[in-house]
Amino acid sequence: MRILLLALSLALSVSVPLNAVAETDGIEAESEDRDAQPIMPPRPSYPALAIRAQMPGWCDVRLDVNRQGYPTNIAPWCSHWVFCQSAYDAVASVRFQPKMLNGQPEPRSNVVYPLEYNIGATEAESEANRAKIEGKPGRACMVGPIS
């Protein structure tokens, strides 16, 4: 199976934006200031149960990024519980360039990383699926690291 990034659609795809960091706080950035940025985007796996059910879905994963660039306080909010652990695991493995303020690393709170799960969908079908699902409420996930 191949998992592809945003704007690519094959038989199975999970879409993630390359630059999915929450909006800046309106601070004028100097050359040494920047918001937290993912070094590599997450690579979520498509849950087997969702594949068998041919189920598309989405997750908005809230997190904080510490000074070392590690995600903390990861809290997925998904269209269906079946995507929760996959979203948590994918974002937990991401490393970030930390937020920089006056040349010093700073923690970053309230980052939202959107993930989209689509099976066998063309790009147009993915857009239509997202429009159908977007109006429906998601649910908070009770997940965490698996030991």
Number of structural domains, the chain? 1
CATH number of domain containing 38: 3.30.2420.10
Residues 38 and 95: their CA atoms lie apart, in Å, by 6
The overall average pLDDT reported for the chain is 77
- Tell me if 3 is assigned to some domain: no
Q: How confident is the model at residue 134 (pLDDT cuts 50, 70, 90)?
A: low
pLDDT digits (tens, 9 = 90+) for 34-90: 999 999 889 999 999 999 999 999 999 999 999 999 999 999 999 999 999 999 999
- Tell me if 91 is assigned to some domain: yes
- The phi and psi torsions of 49 (rounded to 5 degrees) equal -60, -40
Of residues 60, 59, 48, the one with CA closest to residue 12? 48
Could you tell me the pTM of the whole model?
A: 0.69
pLDDT digits (tens, 9 = 90+) for 11-50: 344 555 544 444 444 444 445 789 999 998 899 999 999 9
